[in-house]
Amino acid sequence: MADPTHLDRTPQAPAGRWTDDYAREVAAMDCRRNRSGIVVEPLYAPHGEDAPVQLGYPGQPPFTRGIHASMYRGRPWSQRLVVGYGLPEHYNARMRMLYESGAHGLYLAPCNSHMRGYDADEVPPELLGTCGTLINTVADLDIALDGLPYASESLSLGDTAPFTLSAMLLVLARQRGIAWAGLRGTTNQSDYLSHCAALHMFFRLSLPGARRMLLDHVEFMLVNVPHWNALSVVGQHMQQAGATPAQAMAFALSSAIQHADDLVARGLDPDRFLPRLSFFFDVSISFFEEIAKFRAGRRIWARVARQRYRARDPRSMQLRFHTQTAGTDLTRQQPLNNIARVAVQAMAAILGGTQSLHTDAWDEALSAPGEAAARVAISTQNILRDEALLDQVIDPLGGAYFVERHTDEMEAAIVEVMRDVEQAGGMYAAVGDGYVQRIIGEAALAWQNELDAGSRQQVGVNCFTADEDAPVAVAAAPRVCDDDVACHLERLRVWRRNRDGAALQRALDALVAAFDNDDNAYARVVDAVAAGATHGEICACVRRAVGPGVPVATI
């Protein structure tokens, strides 16, 4: 691979180009003042000279300071919360409440039964709707999205291979007369490598089968849904499983290289698919470390895109990413402290240049978030934007001695891990052999040992503890009652009863047959959904064609 440590000495555009780019994104060079009457400029850089090559300007390679010229002044980060519990009706009600509270985008997390490839009537009823929303058919998705602006707002779907949620969205859009070309969003869980390495989801599909399914999905969406991010590379799973911030960024970038190599091998032009590549990262409470991680990651990816893939389109070089505050930092002890933790994490994501942010609710260490806690989570972002005014200055920590040195050091640490993955044969081989899983496990154990020894402090857990925590009322998300489960199962039975059985069987047979030829398997998934197939039926067909995944021993 192109050497990510090589400092690209391509002359940078002068500051005047940034000014022109900024003016195109923001209607006017608006003058903002703080309470003391001092003018707050959108960007600060060295006086009388262009910025150092490795720092550059926002919106210009190597994008250390951000991928857009105006960043949050012209393109505010998207405010989101992961939402998923109960029936589709429950999801709809919670999403409406969040929109009223300031959320900008839609996110749908399906039930664990869905994530494992089954329909609601294939698992014990007590497991249904506890960790996500029950979505088995396109009718379920219609209920979940009823009245929500999915035709105009960005929609993020927690959708793993064979990507039935995305297929249901396409079928629903067609039924509602919504052009696919107008849909915007992300197949948020499409990175099968992260699932196999960090989520123990290896069993859903074989590794080769998941690889084929992803590539078919990306190709189909590039042609038919051009504004959709079909490939979202996930570093968040790795970090939540125990990887360090540097390792998580390195594994994500290595995964992106693997997926890009696979798409190039299919004959796709990098400048066609790289602009639609997105990333999903964790942000921990290690404030400056996380900011340096994001700045270094942008710089490395810009070089990889330009040197390895000869990308010419600046959008191909942009590390566009969504961030979620780290749930592993939240504690069951003294849980109200989690509000402060999430605020610090969110600040790191914003100052690190995220494009989209999900703030966890303080009660997520105890349960699925209750409504009041969810309001606090979204209000945290409102406060950081509208009261703390963190959207006013682009990369405000840029140029600080510590931040710039830490970014360089983080870059070196990330590149070292990327080289190890390359020597292991690339990310596909490294996950298949268990190498990545071993590295994550070792890092997780080292972190836990530090907490247990007290050398790493966590307030309320191993320091500043109370003999007896004051009780905290937790208004958790309502559990799905037996009547709700019975209602959903009956709806599923009626759905199956009213389908055209012959048309359904033809569609499922065509799906299985697609894996024996060059037919696009994801196109056949969409056809199967249109014929009335359920999520579980489609997953069963794909498993039959490509085989289930098997556990991997770490090495």
Percentage of residues in the chain having pLDDT higher than 70: 94
Query: What is the DSSP track for 491-539?
Result: HHHHHHHTS-HHHHHHHHHHHHHHTTSSS-HHHHHHHHHHTT--HHHHH
Residue-wise pLDDT for 355-371, tens only, equals 999 999 999 999 888 88
Q: What was the pLDDT predicted at 553?
A: 63
Q: Is residue 289 part of a domain?
A: yes
From 139-148, 226-235, 359-368, 422-431, the region with the lowest mean pLDDT: 359-368
Instruction: Please give the tally of structural domains in the chain.
Output: 1
Higher pLDDT, 485 or 320: 320
Higher pLDDT, 62 or 45: 62
Mean pLDDT of 296-306: 98
Write out the residue range of the structural domain in which residue 300 sits: 77-328+398-452
In the block, which residue shows the tokens 């997390």?
109
Q: What was the pLDDT predicted at 15?
A: 73
Q: What was the pLDDT predicted at 14?
A: 55
Q: Is residue 511 part of a domain?
A: no
Flag whether pLDDT at 475 surpasses 60. yes
Higher pLDDT, 46 or 23: 23
Q: Is residue 10 part of a domain?
A: no
Could you give the residue ranges of the DSSP H alpha helices within 424-464?
427-432, 435-453
Closest CA to 536 of 116, 25, 171, 88: 116
CA–CA separation, 351 vs 348, rounded Å? 5
From 155-169, 196-210, 405-419, 424-438, the region with the lowest mean pLDDT: 196-210
Residue-wise pLDDT for 452-474, tens only, equals 999 999 999 999 998 666 778 77
Q: Residue 534 is encoded by which pair of tokens?
A: 């359920």
Q: What was the pLDDT predicted at 17?
A: 85
Flag whether pLDDT at 505 surpasses 60. yes
Which residues fall within 8 angstroms of residue 104, CB to CB, at 6 or more apart?
76, 78, 79, 80, 153, 154
Specify the 3-state DSSP secondary structure of 466.
coil
This prediction has a pTM of: 0.93
Query: What is the DSSP track for 111-128?
Result: -HHHHTT--GGGS-GGGT
Q: Residue 157 is encoded by which pair of tokens?
A: 């779907």
Give 98: exposed, middle or buried? Use CB within 10 Å, 0-12, 13-18, 19+. Answer: buried
Whether the link from the prior residue into 162 is cis, omega within 30° of 0, is yes
Higher pLDDT, 202 or 526: 526
Q: Is residue 425 part of a domain?
A: yes
Distances (CA, A) of 446 to 180, 187, 203, 442: 47, 33, 27, 6
Q: What was the pLDDT predicted at 226?
A: 97
Mean pLDDT of 181-198: 94
Residue 169 and residue 150 in contact, taking contact as beta carbons nearer than 8 Å: yes
Q: Is residue 500 part of a domain?
A: no
Q: What was the pLDDT predicted at 3?
A: 54
Which CATH number is 94's domain given? Answer: 3.20.20.240
Specify the 3-state DSSP secondary structure of 96.
helix
Closest CA to 271 of 306, 312, 307: 312
Q: Is residue 63 part of a domain?
A: no
Q: What was the pLDDT predicted at 9?
A: 37
Q: Is residue 261 part of a domain?
A: yes
Give residue 451's identity as a one-letter amino acid code.
Answer: L
Q: What was the pLDDT predicted at 10?
A: 42
Residue 65 and residue 57 in contact, taking contact as beta carbons nearer than 8 Å: yes
Mean pLDDT of 252-264: 99
Flag whether pLDDT at 1 surpasses 60. no
Residue-wise pLDDT for 79-91, tens only, equals 988 787 789 999 9
Q: What was the pLDDT predicted at 29?
A: 62
> Which residues are registered as beta bridge partners of 325?
283
Q: Is residue 230 part of a domain?
A: yes
- CB atoms under 10 Å from CB of 463, counted, come to 10
Q: What was the pLDDT predicted at 110?
A: 93
